[in-house]
Amino acid sequence: MKERIVRLRNAIRYHRDQKGDDRCWLDDRLVWEIFSGEKVNTLPSYEEGMRKCRAYFTLRSADHQDQTPEDVILDKERWDEDVMMMDGQQLEQELRRLESAIQTFYSVTDSERTIDDDRKLYGVLPEKIPADFRLPSEKDFLGLGSEKKGCPQFWRSHMHCQGKHNIHQWGPCKDGNR
């Protein structure tokens, strides 16, 4: 149980710690994959991917980083020390709390999930590190500002991919697999 708690917490931390154009609705899928054990390796269409990217930019972007609370735990070595001290009942409660937070997060559709949903998910972590919800400009995030950046370029890089592959990396996929 301790290992599962730490794995779920680390998945949420990875999600929280993405910055700039590394923040993406696909990171939501990574948390789900670790929670459910189901690998998601199918791509939506270019149009569906871009629809989700537009919703992400609109609903999950902020002009500033959240404030750091006074009781923040910056020392990574201490983030999971509480787990090592828990008895069996406390471990079960903590696991249920994490799983419930992840299920609640996923009960909201991609096109409706907001920064507040992210904050609630991150709120289950003991360290209380704030997230940085700042994204690149709309032009850079959703536009054609660079050949190697932005949602359109990401989706175009996967347009000819078929079969199973890693959707969290840029394409093209070799032989339909990554």
> Which pLDDT tens digit goes with each residue over 53-97?
999 999 999 999 899 999 999 999 999 999 999 999 999 999 999
How far, in Å, CA of 62 to CA of 117, rounded?
14
Please check whether residue 25 lies inside any domain of the structure.
Answer: yes
Beta strands in the chain (DSSP E): none
Say whether 111 sits in a helix, a strand or coil.
coil
φ, ψ of residue 177 in degrees (nearest 5): -130, 155
Please check whether residue 63 lies inside any domain of the structure.
Answer: yes
Structure tokens at 15: 């999600």
Per DSSP, 129 falls in state P
Q: What pLDDT, on the 0 to 100 scale, is given for residue 178?
A: 39
φ, ψ of residue 106 in degrees (nearest 5): -80, -10
Q: Tell me the torsion sign for CA atoms 137, 140, 143, 145.
A: positive
Is residue 9 within 8 A of residue 79, CB to CB? The reply is yes
Each residue of 21-41: pLDDT tens digit? 889 999 999 999 999 998 877
Please check whether residue 160 lies inside any domain of the structure.
Answer: no
Domain region containing 27: 2-137
Q: Which residues pair with 174 in a beta bridge?
A: 177
Please check whether residue 88 lies inside any domain of the structure.
Answer: yes
Q: What pLDDT, on the 0 to 100 scale, is given for residue 177?
A: 43
The fraction of the chain above a pLDDT of 90, given in percent, is: 63
Please check whether residue 166 lies inside any domain of the structure.
Answer: no
How far, in Å, CA of 122 to CA of 129, rounded?
8
Please check whether residue 126 lies inside any domain of the structure.
Answer: yes
Burial of residue 113 (CB within 10 Å: 0-12, 13-18, 19+) is: buried
Structure tokens at 70: 């006074």
How far, in Å, CA of 81 to CA of 107, rounded?
30
Residues 6+ apart with CB under 8 A from 91: 1, 2, 5, 83
**Tally of domains in the chain:** 1
Q: Which residues pair with 177 in a beta bridge?
A: 174
